[in-house]
């Protein structure tokens, strides 16, 4: 495939899962100069707020705001409106909120752009089933019968019908999602573990190289980078793996 360093780095979303801005800033210093995507999730956002997102944008990073909205349509519309005005590049909702909720998210985006927000249209994606959700949890706890991949495809199709740009899913599901929803439908995949790395609480995992081979558009990687003795060395090694695929 022959990805350049910029292309490989640009497909990696580093999960800044930290309790406060100072810890995340320390990682930013360590990774300085590497043109990867940055992901701000609920832990950091609830602690450091919109100012942290604005700082990342000012430093030139592409930003994924991973707040996984799941509420009544009117509330999600308002949330999507506020997030769009922040200028993030990508954000998400839960497909489990249903089609009307996802459509409301898109209306919130359009209202922000029509209202004169001087930002580009963010990519909007939906979480299908969390990569920590196993077959047993899906069937016995969530109460959805059948295999995980069928449940994921069902949500992916619903997401496309609602007009969103793609889904968050396991890298193991990328090929089936692209087959069902088209190759331009984006796949963002957590559950990435380099060979030999700790699995942690993830369940449906794949290595970075295999995820790229499967056609994933962006991979979200947290602990294999943030908990490594040298986060920079860990990220560089993943970039090299992607460049050699
Ligand atoms: O540390 P790890 O690589 O497991 O981090 C994965 C990141 O991706 C976390 O920030 C987690 O919140 C996020 N995520 C996920 N599964 C989803 C959506 C997001 O693991 N379906």
- Say how far apart CA 245 and CA 212 lie, in whole Å: 8
pLDDT band at 20 (very low <50, low <70, confident <90, very high): very high
Atom of ligand 1 nearest to the CA of 42: 12
- Per-residue tokens: 64: 């994924």
Give pLDDT, residue 114.
94
Atom of ligand 1 nearest to the CA of 201: 4
pLDDT band at 1 (very low <50, low <70, confident <90, very high): low
- Per-residue tokens: 219: 């991979």
Residues with a known catalytic role? 68
Distance 198 CA to ligand 1 centre (A): 14
pLDDT band at 194 (very low <50, low <70, confident <90, very high): very high
Tell me which residue has its CA closest to atom 10 in ligand 1. Answer: 15
CA atoms lying within 13 Å on the CB side of residue 126: 33
Give pLDDT, residue 197.
87
**Which of 138, 220, 234, when mutated, tests ligand 1's pocket best, judged by the most ligand atoms within 8 Å of its CB?**
220
pTM: 0.95
pLDDT at 164 over 90: yes
DSSP strands (E only) in the chain? 12-15, 37-41, 63-69, 90-94, 123-127, 166-168, 186-189, 218-221
| DSSP reduced 3-state for 237 | helix
DSSP per-residue string spanning 193-209 = --TT---TT--S-B-HH
- Per-residue tokens: 101: 């909720």
Q: Which range has the worst mean pLDDT, 3-12, 60-69, 195-204, 222-231?
A: 195-204
């Amino acid at each position: 495939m022959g990805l350049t360093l910029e292309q490989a780095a640009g497909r990696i979303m580093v999960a800044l899962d930290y309790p406060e801005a100072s810890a995340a800033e320390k990682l930013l210093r360590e990774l300085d100069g590497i043109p990867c995507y940055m992901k701000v999730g609920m832990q950091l956002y609830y602690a450091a707020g919109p100012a942290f997102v604005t700082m990342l944008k000012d430093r030139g990073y592409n930003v994924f705001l991973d707040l996984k909205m799941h509420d009544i349509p009117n509330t999600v519309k308002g949330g999507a409106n506020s997030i769009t005005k922040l200028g993030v590049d990508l954000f998400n909702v839960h497909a489990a909120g249903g089609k009307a909720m996802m459509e409301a998210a898109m209306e919130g985006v359009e209202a922000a752009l029509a209202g004169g927000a001087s930002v580009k249209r963010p990519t909007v994606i939906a979480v299908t089933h969390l990569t920590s959700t196993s077959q047993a949890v899906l069937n016995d706890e969530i109460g959805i019968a059948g295999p995980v991949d069928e449940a994921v495809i069902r949500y992916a199709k619903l997401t496309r019908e609602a007009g969103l740009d793609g889904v968050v899913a396991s890298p193991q599901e990328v090929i089936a999602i692209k087959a069902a929803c088209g190759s331009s439908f984006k796949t963002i995949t957590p559950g990435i573990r380099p060979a030999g790395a700790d699995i942690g609480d993830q369940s449906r995992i794949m290595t970075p190289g295999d995820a790229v081979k499967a056609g994933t558009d962006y991979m979200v990687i947290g602990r294999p980078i943030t908990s490594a003795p040298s986060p920079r060395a860990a990220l560089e090694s993943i970039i090299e793996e992607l460049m050699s695929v």
